[in-house]
Homo-oligomer: A and B are copies of this chain.
Amino acid sequence: MSEAALAAVDWGTSSFRLWLLDAKGAVVAERRGPDGMLVAGTEGFSAILERYLADAGAPADLRVIVCGMAGARQGWVEAPYVSVPAGVDAILAGAVAAPAAGRDVRILPGLAQRQADAPDVMRGEETQLAGILPLFSQGNHLICMPGTHSKWVEAEDGVIESFRTWLTGELFSLMSTHSILRHSLDGAPGAAAHDDPVFANACGRALEDGGDVGSGLFRIRAATLLQDLQPADAAATLSGLLIGAEIASARRVFQASSQQVVLVASGALGLLYATALKLAGCTVIQADAEEAVRTGLFEAAKRLGWVERAA
């Protein structure tokens, strides 16, 4: 096993992921847990980081590059937003040193879109963008980054021009746990399978409805009452409705000239979005979200001179 050259951390609101990377960016060790920003406010950012580093066997002087909510105003130290339009280098150049970390820890900034009529922000996804944009350095690309807060990004010749957020994952969670629909979804075995025809059907209908999610939500409750819709199918319907509406809405907002969408996602969510995007008539280029963020973090380390640029 090669030696760790640095640690790379993706520190979200409710999750923490750490990789030890060697001088070529290969993964030497990996740790993940629920210690996101919400927890870190209590235990302390440095304490959590040191706990994970020790668990992964990192030496005391190993340098750490971080992205995500640790750089928010209410995080460890604020890494001020970089405004779009912005290239990858502007993101990588914005790293801020964490105070009293006991080692060299740098936190990457988020992105802000400051247009008066379309304000938006991201923290974490910009580092995924830094990881993949070198592959899309020419022409216009629409990038879909699904999640609790899905981000859609328009990039032109490798520059992030604009972006927008859809609360799709959060809406799914809220609707299934707090709304009238919880009675319909109660007992559902988690997310839909990407090849579930119930998902495809709901998604296709939402795409036809052009992003209008409101007219379809209560139908799920009514179908439970009148048509004996089962919880798993209710969950697949809600998932298809929300994802289909997001895609229709995003394509309207960005008025994409091409049918191509770069999907940056992992696991089951990636499969669902790939299915939905194909239903929408899109050509999908898929990049793994975890690999993208690791690559972005490693690029930042290179820029800091922590590893050879030639690596």
Contacts and interface: CB of A to CB of B under 8 A. Distances in A.
Nearest to A170: B179
Interface string A158-184: 000000111110110011001110000
A212 B118 contact: no
A213 B210 contact: no
Given A212-B249, A227-B119, A165 B218 contact: yes
A118 B219 contact: yes
A223 B119 CA distance: 6
A57 B185 CA distance: 44
A81 B222 CA distance: 12
A217 interface: yes
Given A222-B119, A223-B119, A227-B116, A215 B164 contact: yes
Interface string A219-255: 1011101110000000000000010011011101100
- Number of this chain's copies in the assembly equals 2
26 contacts: A112-B222, A112-B225, A114-B226, A119-B219, A119-B223, A119-B225, A119-B226, A149-B180, A164-B215, A165-B222, A166-B214, A166-B217, A167-B218, A171-B214, A174-B178, A174-B179, A209-B252, A211-B211, A211-B212, A212-B245, A212-B249, A213-B213, A214-B242, A214-B249, A215-B249, A215-B252
Given A170-B179, A210-B211, A212-B213, 9 more contacts: A119-B222, A119-B226, A119-B227, A121-B226, A166-B218, A167-B180, A209-B252, A210-B210, A212-B212
Which 7 A-B residue pairings sit nearest by Cβ, starting from the closest?
Answer: A211-B212, A165-B218, A119-B222, A119-B226, A215-B249, A120-B222, A212-B249
